[in-house]
Structure 1
């Protein structure tokens, strides 16, 4: 394997000069900077270490002669295998615990957007585990399907290391594109589906093998207890199984009850039960009976146990009987870099997260179903929310939901992005914004409540850092304002410039330069509110964005005000919410000094930002073409429009975009910046400073924005 460390054992039979021989071997390798894990042992010493160290024991099982006495090496490997066969049964618990710790650290190969090909669950280390269990004669040797999975994982890992020129095992999206091309997979999405399938094959085989190799299910020859855990379902020892009187061929709901029992108890479904259900369980006919819907709700609301239960059902084709539409998203890799899972796993994970929110909504059953279906329309060249809503309608009718409940589920899928997108990309203090949300949901307070919970579950299931306190606050405020509108009460007026901001503007006018004040945002120490003020004639957004970028602050929102208090000629105030990309926020005094210098003009800020961007070169993902979208009638006032820029994230992107807006003679009223992994959606409410908002002005501004984002 390219760029791998060497794991070498120098075996000897008591040779008196073994130390000098070892030095002669190791030093040239060290001088060549080869990674080396080495030891010098007699066969007896190696076996003694293997008896106490699991890693050594497993490593000796596939020991290979590099050079030297073939008979001595063969004797050691044979003795190590015999020792393993004698002791493996007692060491299985240690093997299982070691594997679980590794899986917890490295995640899964299957359904992961960036799989660890070696250490992840379903990866190469697990294939080694299967080999060890087979050597101990505790499970069958890997068959053709596992052999194909091994070849794929090895090929991909080898090509990955050749591509990056170092010992990497985690396949990122950018490298996957190159690897896919080299291995003739077409693109990284095709490769991802093959890898996910291989990972699922290996992980399932490991689960079955470790269960078979584990300690006996009964004690002192007794049969394991059979504890009822549902109609026709029992807990047989440590596995979920069919009751003796269960008749799968005549009980269409039995499949759901088995899955629900497994998810609820966290115990695996026995292999025999899965095989029996696959052979004889009938399909649930539409519309499902009430008992079937209750079992589905119990299954989806079980929490963490749902993941393994669905995986077991899906591996045996049973999940597709319940939800034939699942095939379109199975192992479908995400196109958005912020997603940690494939689409099917994301949907299951969203149900897991939604299960923790069922006590916050009036209809937990609809929340769980909406979580399961909200991205079911992905993977096709169309709006996944609209297609998903159509699919969700068919599913809802098939499982027997009422017309009203079907309408709610369809609305959840169609509008599952409505609240987070609006809260992070629009000014939620504007009445028009709230009115659009209320109109989209047809004034239904139940749908609003369910969408609020689904927004949280969806974000939590997407990946770490997607559902932040700041995002939760914005969505919560939007929901509260929409609920106020739905009850017929007047919306609160947008907050005017407060006394502190007014005084800062006055100070900027008196001093003739920029001023800065920094406070925490809603008590969150990592999110700060930075208020910048300048004299009326000075530029505000561009220098502020530049200084914040220079200090590695990620801007979330920006609101700009013109202040005309009595006693002075007026000034302009910008209120920014931002958080550090890493570390803690910078010293306010430093920000104040840098901003004053930037407002005063000069090339220093641009030069420093260019230097900082060069320092980050090589760390960015593969570029994508920027896109500009226009949204009319989404902000208050005539001659105002919302423009969105979707582009790759860059350190000084907002600074460059602000310059493009200024160059285009655009007045910015507010800005929202949403970061999605390595991409951003920058939204601006703008109006022309002079002239009209005509097609020529839009075309010129769009060209400038695209140039700034290149």
Structure 2
């Protein structure tokens, strides 16, 4: 291999690399780390041989920067090379002799030719170039020239760091804002994301300026995992790629001998969060360590300003007062955290480490002061998320909540979730802090929000498992036994309201009675309090799940259910079930008089769903036709109420849809009615029109790694009906397809509700009771209609 690579033909270099990537039958596949080392050795050998053969020796040097300079070369990384020279007249010849073979072989190349002065100058004006030259590694030629440039760049970097710090920090934060977190993205950017490989380079650059220490062992280990994943991603894709796509994650996990993509996501989350935390602390520590010169050196050192008992602000960070000790003050650690969240100042790294070394485990039950500081922290809202992250990264949060270990970095199984489970719990508590004025016990809302999914990752129903953990935690926190019971019930039933509101007929008194009786059985006379807590938790949970999960329609449904339950608990009569309205009767009469379908739109406000009422002769295919026309006009259906109205001797189907436009404004009712007439007359092939629309919009709405659809059945004992629930991937015209499948199965529908959660849907259909044998046939038809393929 070395002989071939040394020939000077870069094509031989490409062939040698191909052998490393695919060693052939009977040959052992190189591990990611071994592959990177072999690729570095291969390129070093070819480049040094080539450089020697063309005369790069005295007064010229070939230097590697970037991935090759750091010895982090992934299979399809570009080569970043600098040709240094000290005034040689033939430098253009040398450069051409180096670059052209690489270009001809199709090797990605980022190159430059510099004198020592030019190299130092470009490093002083271009951050990217400076970071690269700080990592420069000699390949061939005059080693003294490389050393001279490397020393000069590092000296200039240290000397000028004070004037460049703001640019460094601003560039890092802008990159984080643009690319997002590696830890929480479904498809993370391993290189540029917050917690990615560029943040390790940032730490190295700050260390080179002698502002911080070299990265710690956990950051080094995290960097190795990110490099391994990126290496396998390159090997799998056959080209440079830094974003780990969902459809590639299982293969990358298998190559790294990790169980599956979920375990890989969990490992990546932990690694990225370690790097991100180190980068944030590193930037703050570097700012504090900047050299003071000129008039700045004459200014007094920052004063320590008291913030709370044992807590002061110093140089823009929360730190401990000189006489504060965690051993004598059990609530000190939580007071520091609550103060940081309340003021917006970060906790100093030294303070975190000191608390990690000295803070004892709180006795059980917790002292009242400690519980009060926890509630103060949770009540701070969004600001507390980064504080909890800092506590967790230094082991302090796990000391408070040992149960946290199972959900830490646990990836979500539901695509609607954008956070890991532990971060989702924190985000839910942050959202709940905005809702504390709605409930009589804000302390229970905050703690219940923090614990509602604590049972995930342990097997079994996470609500049931979580209840026992919530009881355990709340007793440890020192809550009264009555409050402990309420917190356990909050976790056990945190899905009761949203599931009931979207899967049951709220006009049916039995639905309301079932919810109210469930709450009363749990907490007796405190059922009203539990109801209010669950309603607020449902909102906070949805808001913390992902975009669009808490919709005006969902808010309306849960609010309506909660109001009916309060009425029931108060012993007052429930609202009478909805009956045929005058407007529906008028629509049905117009259908009979004109012999054509009718359509009416009622708007409820800019942020509220609109109502579309459609009436047509009651015959097979009516619902699927109506739903298809709405989809054709980009209306997203949230619910459908189905009635049969007799006008004269004619039965008319009246459908009332609760809808929102997917894009822009509501469509013209006249155009929708015209299309409905064409569908019923056979002039518009609805399935073909929807397929064309789906093709047009599919690239923007496509879901990678779509999960297979599922059907669940729920019996409604009060009415004798059954509820079919479809869980699947959203697509244009899905309600039309499902309705058509049900109509062909001969099923009579009472109502339908559609909940869209990001790219997923949970659609519920209330059917007249069907024998168990029919359920199998109906389920097969629905799943076939929902197939995303």
TM-score for both structures, normalised by structure 2: 0.81
* Matched ranges for 1:419-434 at <5 A: 419-434=497-512
Q: Note the C-alpha offset of 1:705.
A: 2.2
Query: Equivalent residue for 1:388?
Result: 466
Bigger CA drift: 135-144 or 29-38?
29-38
Q: Aligned pair 1:496/2:579, yes or no? A: yes
Aligned counterparts of 1:71 and 1:116: Cα–Cα separation in 2: 38
Is 1:654 paired with 2:735? yes
Deviation at 1:368?
A: 0.7
Paired residue for 1:703? 780
Aligned to 1:531: 613
Which has the larger displacement, 604-613 or 319-328? 604-613
Q: 2:713 aligns to what?
A: 630
Question: Does 2:559 correspond to 1:486?
Answer: no
Aligned runs of 1:446-461 on 2, under 5 Å? 446-461=529-544
- Give the superposition deviation at 1:633: 2.0
Q: Report whether the alignment pairs 1:687 with 2:768.
A: yes
How far off its partner does 1:10 sit? Answer: 6.6
State the shift of 1:332 in Å.
Answer: 0.7
| Equivalent position to 1:475, from 549, 558, 568 | 558
Query: Could you tell which deviates more after superposition, 361-370 or 548-557?
Result: 548-557
Change in Cα spacing, 1:699 to 1:304, as seen in structure 2 (3 Å) is: closer
Measure how far apart 1:91 and its partner are: 1.8
CA offsets per residue over residues 319-346 of structure 1, 9 Å max, x none? 1221111111111111111111111111
Name the residue aligned to 1:99.
172
**2:382 & 2:568 partners in 1: Cα distance?**
37
Secondary structure of 1:562 counterpart: strand
How many pairs align?
Answer: 702
CA distance in 2, matches of 1:38, 1:507: 76
Is 1:670 the counterpart of 2:751? The answer is: yes
Partners in 2 of 1:641 and 1:538 — Cα distance?
A: 21
Distance of 2:340 and 2:582 partners within structure 1 = 60
C-alpha deviation, 1:204, in angstroms: 2.5
The answer on whether the counterparts of 1:89 and 1:215 sit within 8 Å (CA) in structure 2 is no
CA drift of 1:17 comes to: 9.2
- Structure 2 gaps of 5+ residues are 1-73
1:173 aligns with 2:251: no
Q: Report the 3-state secondary structure (helix = DSSP H, G, I; strand = E; otherwise coil) of the residue aligned with 1:556.
A: strand
Is 1:540 aligned with 2:622? Answer: yes
Give me the whole-angstrom Cα distance separating, in 2, the residues matched to 1:305 and 1:345.
Answer: 13
1:51-62 equivalence runs, <5 A: 51-62=124-135
CA pair 665-213 structure 1, distance change in 2 beyond 3 A: same
1:369 is displaced (CA, Å) by 0.3
Q: Does 1:600 pair with 2:677?
A: no
CA distance in 2, matches of 1:183, 1:614: 36
Q: 1:253 aligns with which of 327, 331, 334?
A: 331
- Measure how far apart 1:42 and its partner are: 5.0
The corresponding residue for 2:58 is none
Shift of 1:572: 0.8
For the 8 Å contact 1:621–1:678, the answer to whether it is kept is: no
Report whether the alignment pairs 1:569 with 2:642. Answer: no
- Map Cα deviations across residues 465-498 of structure 1 (whole Å, 9 max, x no partner): 2222232222222222222332333222344344
SS in 2 for 1:579: strand
Give the corresponding residue for 2:69. none
Asked if residue 309 in structure 1 is aligned to residue 391 in structure 2, the reply is no
- Counterpart of 1:234 (choices 291, 294, 312) is 312
Alignment of 1:246-325 (within 5 A): 246-325=324-403
Whole-angstrom CA distance in 2 between matches of 1:621 and 1:227: 52
Whether contact under 8 Å (2:246, 2:705) holds in the other structure is: no
Q: 1:27 to 1:657 in 2, by over 3 A?
A: farther
In 2, the alpha carbon distance for the partners of 1:162 and 1:18 equals: 36
Alpha-carbon offset, residue 231 of structure 1 = 2.4
Q: Which has the higher contact order (CA 8 A, sep 6+)?
A: 1
C-alpha change, 1:205 and 1:538, in structure 2 (3 Å) is: closer
SS in 1 for 2:713: strand
| Distance 1:331-1:665 versus aligned 2 partners, 3 A rule | same
What is the alpha-carbon distance in structure 1 between the residues aligned to residue 452 and residue 339 of structure 2?
A: 25
Distance (Å, rounded) in 2 between the aligned partners of 1:40 and 1:222 = 46
How far apart are residue 393 of structure 1 and its match? 0.9
1:86 to 149, 155, 159: 159
C-alpha change, 1:160 and 1:510, in structure 2 (3 Å) is farther
Task: Say if 2:202 is the partner of 1:129.
Answer: yes
Distance 1:456 1:164, change over 3 A: farther
Aligned-residue offset at 1:674: 1.4
User: How far is 1:582 from its partner?
Assistant: 4.2
- Residue 184 of structure 1 and its aligned partner are, at CA, apart by 1.5
Larger mean Cα displacement after TM superposition, 209-218 or 37-46: 37-46
Task: Label 1:596 to 1:29 Cα distance change in 2 as closer, same or farther (>3 A).
Answer: farther
Shift of 1:47: 3.5
Q: Does 1:360 align with 2:443?
A: no
SS at match of 1:250: coil
C-alpha separation between the residues in 1 aligned to 2:400 and 2:674?
A: 63
Q: Mean Cα displacement is larger for which, 697-706 or 375-384?
A: 697-706
Most deviating of 470-479 and 290-299: 470-479
1:200-235 deviations in whole A, cap 9, x for unaligned? 221232233223211459974744322222222222
Q: Which moved more, 1:35-44 or 1:527-536?
A: 35-44
Rounded to whole Å, the distance in 1 between the matches of 2:472 and 2:143 is 67
Q: Distance in 2 between matches of 1:456 and 1:549?
A: 28
The aligned runs of 1:29-40 (5 Å cut-off) are none
Which of 192, 205, 215 is matched with 1:142 structurally?
215
CA distance in 1, matches of 2:649, 2:153: 89
TM-score by length of 1: 0.90
> How far is the alpha carbon of 1:85 from its aligned partner?
1.7
Are the aligned partners of 1:96 and 1:210 in contact in 2 as well (CA < 8 Å)? yes
Q: In structure 2, what is the Cα distance between the partners aligned to 1:520 and 1:514? A: 20
Q: Deviations over 1:474-533 (max 9, x none)?
A: 2222222222332333222344344444333333334444333334344337x4433222
Moved more, 225-234 or 158-167: 158-167
- 2:231 aligns with 158
User: Taking structure 1 as reference, are residues 511 and 161 closer, same or farther at Cα in structure 2, changes over 3 Å only?
Assistant: farther
